[in-house]
Amino acid sequence: MLVAVGIGPGDPELLTVKAVNLIKQADQVFVPGNVAKKIIAPYRTDPVVLSFPMTDDEDYITRCIEESADIIAPVAKTGLAVFCILGDPNFYGTFGRLCEVLDRKYPDIAYSSVPGVSSITAFASFAGVTLNGGIEITDGSEKASLLRMKVRRPRETADELRQSGYTTFILAEKMYMDGQKIYHEDELPEESAYFSILYAGK
């Protein structure tokens, strides 16, 4: 089993309790560089440092991800492998690309992720600003997805968004709370709880 764990923006005290527990319990911990190694040092001192370069050379990035998958796979096949990622694993991270390689080369390996404090939410505290209303988050590329919070009429909202080219919808209600639910586009309810987020993808 492979679990990708978000380790936050830099302060070791911003790791979640769940993240710390998994890091301590893992048969082996992997990190994508020395910054991540330093962040988890209070909780684990023996991580394997993998190469996930910050470069525009796509061929080189692909080779490094393939090599990392080969290193992680033997541990994940027989025990608990934990991959620590700055911020949140699924928010502008390398975990998605690693999963693509695992699906292709090691389809028998199960994986999941544990959320972490992302740079977006950390920024608001660090800068002393409050973010309310609509905000746009982009890395400069074409916007391919949208998150809408507090969606009370998800099916109606999805119908409206289809007119703007969105085709994939996932609704999450009461995440990590009692009564949590997830719905896909063919099962969106007419109404949803206050604690809800609708994902729309193109």
One-character DSSP codes across 123-184: HHHHHT----S-----SSSPP-EEEEES-SSHHHHHHHHHTTT--EEEEEESTTSTT-EEEE
Instruction: Give pLDDT, residue 52.
Output: 83
Same domain, 197 and 113: no
Instruction: Supply the pLDDT for residue 16.
Output: 97
Rounded Cα–Cα distance for residues 115 and 36 (Å): 15
Q: Report pLDDT digits (tens) over 87-113.
A: 999 988 789 999 999 999 999 999 999
- Distance, in Å, from the CA atom of 139 to the CA atom of 127, rounded to the nearest integer, reads 19
In a domain, 180, yes or no: yes
Q: Is residue 125 part of a domain?
A: no
Q: Has residue 137 been placed in a domain?
A: no
Closest to 33 (Cα-Cα) out of 55, 13, 18, 14:
55
The residue among 120, 154, 185 that closes a domain is 120
Average pLDDT over residues 144-152: 89
Are residue 159 and residue 98 in the same domain, yes or no?
A: no
- Domain residues for 30? 2-120
pLDDT of residue 139: 76
Instruction: Classify residue 182: in a domain, yes or no.
Output: yes
Angle of the 58-78 helix axis to the 95-105 helix axis, nearest 10: 70
Render pLDDT for 153-192 as a digit per residue (tens, 0 to 9).
Answer: 999 999 999 999 999 999 999 999 999 999 998 899 999 9
When divided into structural domains, the chain yields a total of 2
Residue 54 in any domain: the answer is: yes
* Same domain assignment for residues 60 and 155: no
Residue 99 sits in the same domain as residue 22: yes
Under the banding of pLDDT at 50, 70 and 90, the label for residue 28 is: very high
